[in-house]
Homo-oligomer: A and B are copies of this chain.
Amino acid sequence: MKEKLQQVELLILDVDGVLTQGEIIYADDGSQLKVFNVKDGIGLRLLMEAGIQTAIITGRSAGALNARVKNLGIPLLLDGISDKAKALATIAQKTGIPKEKMAMMGDDLPDIPVMKRVGLSIAVADAASEVRTFADITTVRNGGCGAVRETCEAILKAKGLWNDAIARFYR
């Protein structure tokens, strides 16, 4: 598994249930709220600073997601996607990164078409049982509760980049 983690050049994330705990929150005017995790955000920044790219594929869309994506500086957001495998092809074309060097984090059935096409598939701890069965790795933490941070650390540690990534905090 360490070898698979070492080869990751791009981490693709689902949103609801991966970057969040899976809450779909509506206000009375039909607008949405999204609840993200601060430690996931720091993990993604360390990952991107170390040169690993990031992208998001999600079936839904929300201004609340756009705000978080902009805040984190994730360059590729493919939202409102019904066919996630097609979105994966778009990412491969835009980045020039081969699918074997991509990882996908998912929590439910619509993520499987992407998970089966990339080099490394990761399920969050509270993913649907089919997704956990399908994935190469299942995280210890639940979606929205640090599963993304855990994955960022695992990639950086497998590549031997973690100690350098955090060295500046100890100066």
9-residue interface stretch from A31-39, A48-56, A73-81: A31-39
Question: Assuming the A-B contacts A28-B32, A29-B31, are A38 and B63 also in contact, with contact meaning beta carbons closer than 8 angstroms in the complex?
Answer: no
Interface of A (DSSP majority class): mixed
Asked if A140 CB lies within 8 Å of chain B CBs, one says: no
CA A86 – CA B67 in complex, angstroms?
28
Asked if A25 CB lies within 8 Å of chain B CBs, one says: yes
CA A155 – CA B124 in complex, angstroms?
25
**Structural contact, B38 and A23, CB atoms closer than 8 A:** yes
Partner of A30, one of B23, B63, B171: B63
CA A36 – CA B23 in complex, angstroms?
6
CA A164 – CA B116 in complex, angstroms?
19
CA A23 – CA B149 in complex, angstroms?
14
Top 8 A-B residue pairs of the complex, sorted by shortest distance between their CB atoms: A28-B63, A16-B38, A26-B64, A30-B67, A28-B31, A26-B67, A24-B36, A22-B38
Residues of A within 8 A of B (CB): 16-17, 22-39, 41-42, 62-68, 71, 107-110, 112-113, 116, 128, 130, 149, 166, 169-171
